[in-house]
Chains A and B, each alone.
Chain A
Amino acid sequence: DIVLTQSPLSLPVTLGQPASISCRSSQSLVYSDGNTYLNWFHQRPGQSPRRLIYKVSNRDSGVPDRFSGSGSGTDFTLKISRVEADDVGIYYCTKGTPWPPTFGQGTKVEIK
């Protein structure tokens, strides 16, 4: 199975400052249809995860444009341009296709 490795696992950030999370895959995530099904989720304490980004760089409806996704092949990044208090929680990268789904270990974002 494909392994997703996130870094850092803990990310203390200052309000208003940028933040960046890396997700590296053990194999290329480019699928046979040419798409790359690498997604990012945010999970606030006590809540279920919410998807932020799908297919590497597409923001879900309602997601602020402070969030952006980039990358290709095996290396991907989630960036928050200016961290707000509501951004705390754990961020997971995940791949859907090809099967089976796997998740990164999660990156805990907290305010300094």
Chain B
Amino acid sequence: EVQLVESGGGLVQPGGSLRLSCTASGFTFTKYWMSWLRQAPGKGLEWVATIEEDGNVKHYVDSLKGRFTISRDNAKNSVFLQVNSLRAEDTAVYYCARENWGVDYWGQGTLVVVSS
């Protein structure tokens, strides 16, 4: 069974940083691209970033480039999202997801709240 478990969310002040983590199990991690997506309260789904199998190629939504960094550790079946210079509008549930010609599996999400 595919499982994706996120962690690392929480309350952070504007301008702060967080490192979100996602641990995968139930599939061969090194064969898949992995993504982070987010959903602001009461809003729709937004793709944030994707990293290819070997970690060398990364894709970002243009509006977040420079503040968000995706990485992975294939030895630990994990993918990460470093989020810096956080703003109120970054408040959202952040989901880790597996890419298979489009997202197929999602984690349960981790909530990030940016507030003073």
A residues contacting B by CB (< 8 A) are 35, 37, 39, 41, 47-51, 54-55, 60, 92, 94-97, 99-106
How far apart sit A47 and B107, CA to CA, in the bound complex (Å)? Answer: 10
Question: Whole-angstrom distance from the CB of B47 to the nearest CB of chain A?
Answer: 4
Mark contacts of B52-77 with chain A using CB atoms, 8 A cut-off: 1 yes-contact digit, 0 otherwise. Answer: 00000001010000000000000000
Q: For the complex, would chain A's binding face be called helix, strand, loop or mixed by DSSP majority? A: loop
Q: For the complex, would chain B's binding face be called helix, strand, loop or mixed by DSSP majority? A: strand
In this assembly, does B80 line the interface, its C-beta being within 8 Å of a C-beta of chain A? no
Question: Whole-angstrom distance from the CB of B43 to the nearest CB of chain A?
Answer: 9
Pairs across A and B, CB under 8 Å, 30 listed: A37-B101, A37-B102, A39-B102, A41-B45, A48-B106, A48-B107, A48-B108, A49-B45, A49-B95, A51-B103, A51-B104, A51-B105, A54-B101, A92-B44, A94-B45, A96-B99, A96-B101, A96-B102, A96-B103, A97-B102, A99-B59, A100-B59, A100-B61, A101-B35, A101-B47, A102-B47, A103-B45, A103-B47, A105-B44, A106-B45
A-B contact count, CB below 8 Å? 57
| Shortest Cβ distance from B93 into A: residue | A48
Cβ–Cβ contact B59 & A54, under 8 A: no
Question: Whole-angstrom distance from the CB of B75 to the nearest CB of chain A?
Answer: 26
Q: Which range contains the number of B residues in contact with the other chain?
A: 20 to 34
Question: Whole-angstrom distance from the CB of B52 to the nearest CB of chain A?
Answer: 11
Identify 20 new A-B residue pairs, CB closer than 8 A, beyond the known A37-B101, A51-B105, A96-B100: A37-B102, A39-B104, A41-B45, A48-B95, A48-B107, A48-B108, A48-B109, A49-B106, A54-B104, A55-B101, A92-B45, A94-B103, A95-B102, A96-B101, A101-B35, A101-B47, A102-B47, A103-B45, A106-B44, A106-B45
Q: Give the chain A neighbours of B95 by CB distance below 8 A.
A: 48-49
Cβ–Cβ contact B102 & A54, under 8 A: yes
Question: Whole-angstrom distance from the CB of A79 to the nearest CB of chain B?
Answer: 20
Question: Whole-angstrom distance from the CB of A57 to the nearest CB of chain B?
Answer: 14
With A92-B44, A92-B45 as known contacts, state yes or no: A101 contacts B103, CB within 8 Å: yes
How far apart sit A105 and B109, CA to CA, in the bound complex (Å)? Answer: 19
